[in-house]
Every structure is written in C-alpha cells, then in structure tokens.
C-alpha cells in the first residue's frame, strides 16, 4: 500500500474555479469601470436609463400574471392577482395618462 501525501486532493477544475485568465481579468475590470462611470453620470444627470417593463409597448399584463402564477406553482385566479398588484399610485398614474390623451 502506497500513499502519496504530496499529491493534491483537488482536481484541476477545483483549483481554477475562481481563476480568471490574464486576458479576461483586465477586460472585466475595464467593463466594470466603464459601467460605474456611466452609472455615476446618469445619477448626476438624474436620469434613469432602465425603463420599467410596464412602460414597453408590447407589455401584456395578463401574460405576465400567467407567468408569475406559473413561477409560483400556484393556481391563483387572475382577478385576485390583478387586485393584489393594483395600487392607488397605479390608479392615479393611469388617470393622469387618460387625462393627457
């Protein structure tokens, strides 16, 4: 019986799991730096470039509720979900939109 106590007990994938190559790491660092610069610029301009999903033209509220129902793994009636997600702020915003039209 021989034991090799000097051998590593890790596989090569375990050793390199969190390792980023020499070429990749500087690129990722540069991308993060640019992202932070853009976020700061947007914050100083008080602009939010990330639009809410509900502001898109192809927004389908019923399909989104059905998808949520599926993700929850429950069979909740869509009327109940609609009532739950409708807030007074949303109602006021919809009234303002209707008045503008």
**Predicted local confidence at residue 20, as pLDDT:** 65
Q: What is the pTM of this model?
A: 0.37
Other CB atoms within a 10 A radius of the CB of residue 82 amount to: 12
Least confident of 36-45, 55-64, 70-79: 55-64
User: For residue range 29-55, what is the model confidence (pLDDT) as tens digits?
Assistant: 899 999 899 888 888 888 877 766 667
DSSP letter for each residue of 23-89: THHHHHHHHHHHHHHHHHHHHHHT------GGGSTT--HHHHHHHHHHHHT----HHHHHHHH--HH
User: For residue range 18-32, what is the model confidence (pLDDT) as tens digits?
Assistant: 556 788 888 888 999
Other CB atoms within a 10 A radius of the CB of residue 65 amount to: 19
The answer to whether the CB of 42 falls within 8 A of the CB of 49 is yes
């Amino acid at each position: 019986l021989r034991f090799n106590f000097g051998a590593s007990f890790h596989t090569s994938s375990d050793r390199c799991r969190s390792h980023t190559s020499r070429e990749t790491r500087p690129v990722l660092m540069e991308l993060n730096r640019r992202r932070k610069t853009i976020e700061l610029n947007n914050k100083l301009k008080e602009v939010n470039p990330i639009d809410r999903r509900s502001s898109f033209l192809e927004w389908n509220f019923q399909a989104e509720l059905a998808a949520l129902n599926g993700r929850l793994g429950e069979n909740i009636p869509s009327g109940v979900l609609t009532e739950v997600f409708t807030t007074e702020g949303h109602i006021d915003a919809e009234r303002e939109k209707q008045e503008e039209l």
